[in-house]
A and B are shown apart, each in its own frame.
Chain A
Amino acid sequence: GAVVSQHPSWVICKSGTSVKIECRSLDFQATTMFWYRQFPKQSLMLMATSNEGSKATYEQGVEKDKFLINHASLTLSTLTVTSAHPEDSSFYICSATEGRNNSPLHFGNGTRLTVT
């Protein structure tokens, strides 16, 4: 089945630094990838839609200059949290779709970000 690999699975960084999270589709080409954020005991919140070769589309309230998304190939999208602050600590999850009709989303295993 389709596999999405997300790396790292967890990261601790100091306030003010930047962190990059990678999302790879291992056995299929993903024209579209999605980035979600999840706080404890809450549902997944869509942050942005990442399309290969074009700029990401951000949801309302998500700062595009803070959460930089790059989708340079059909198998890789990256999310960079710039100038991280403690309130950015969260569980970040990516998903990818093959883009055909009724193709389900395939999710990575998430990245636990802790900003100290």
Chain B
Amino acid sequence: LAKTTQPISMDSYEGQEVNITCSHNNIATNDYITWYQQFPSQGPRFIIQGYKTKVTNEVASLFIPADRKSSTLSLPRVSLSDTAVYYCLVGDTGAGNKLTFGGGTRVLVKP
């Protein structure tokens, strides 16, 4: 199982871009990188998933370097409602892998 390491917490202000980097040095060839957002007392919510290079959707971008040993979630122009814990997971559910959570990054957006 690929282990992930993220910063424990990050502070930001409304309107700024937030970048969270996750290290996954032992990522396997078939593993995908998926990011989730969790609010208190709720289940995690899917944000974005990628395998290599760059992926962008309506809420975030995901940057993955060629060696895939890390990934960076980019949240453009955050708002107060983006205050949450963000988790990166690495694995391949199609191969029956179980996905385990690392510590996550607690992002606090200030006014």
User: Which residues of chain A have a CB within 8 Å of any CB of chain B?
Assistant: 4, 6, 32, 34, 36, 43-46, 49, 91, 93, 95, 97, 99-110, 112
Q: Do residues B94 and A101 form an inter-chain contact, with CB atoms below 8 A? A: yes
- Nearest chain A CB to B99 CB, angstrom units: 6
Task: Name the A residues within 8 Å of B54 (CB-CB).
Answer: none
Task: Name the B residues within 8 Å of A112 (CB-CB).
Answer: 41
Q: A27 vs B92: C-alpha distance in the bound complex, in angstroms?
A: 21
Which A-chain residue is minimally distant from B49 (CB atoms)?
A104
- Nearest chain A CB to B74 CB, angstrom units: 18
- Give the A-B pair count, Cβ closer than 8 A: 66
Q: Do residues B42 and A43 form an inter-chain contact, with CB atoms below 8 A? A: no
Interface pairs (14), CB distance under 8 Å: A32-B96, A36-B101, A43-B87, A43-B103, A45-B101, A46-B99, A46-B101, A93-B44, A101-B30, A103-B93, A105-B34, A106-B46, A109-B43, A110-B43
Question: B100 interface residue, CB < 8 Å from A?
Answer: yes
Question: B45 interface residue, CB < 8 Å from A?
Answer: yes
Q: Do residues B43 and A107 form an inter-chain contact, with CB atoms below 8 A? A: yes
Q: A13 vs B82: C-alpha distance in the bound complex, in angstroms?
A: 34
Q: A6 vs B43: C-alpha distance in the bound complex, in angstroms?
A: 10
Q: A46 vs B89: C-alpha distance in the bound complex, in angstroms?
A: 13
Query: 20 extra interchain contacts, Cβ-Cβ under 8 A, other than A102-B92, A110-B42?
Result: A34-B98, A36-B101, A43-B101, A43-B104, A44-B44, A45-B101, A46-B99, A46-B100, A93-B44, A99-B96, A100-B94, A101-B92, A101-B94, A101-B95, A102-B51, A105-B34, A105-B46, A105-B93, A108-B43, A112-B41
Tell me the count of chain B residues lying within 8 A, CB to CB, of chain A.
Answer: 26
Which B-chain residue is minimally distant from A110 (CB atoms)?
B43
Q: Do residues B93 and A32 form an inter-chain contact, with CB atoms below 8 A? A: yes
Question: Chain A interface mostly helix, strand, loop or mixed?
Answer: strand
Question: B102 interface residue, CB < 8 Å from A?
Answer: yes
Most buried by A among B45, B49, B98, B103: B98
Q: A82 vs B44: C-alpha distance in the bound complex, in angstroms?
A: 26
Task: Name the A residues within 8 Å of B30 (CB-CB).
Answer: 101
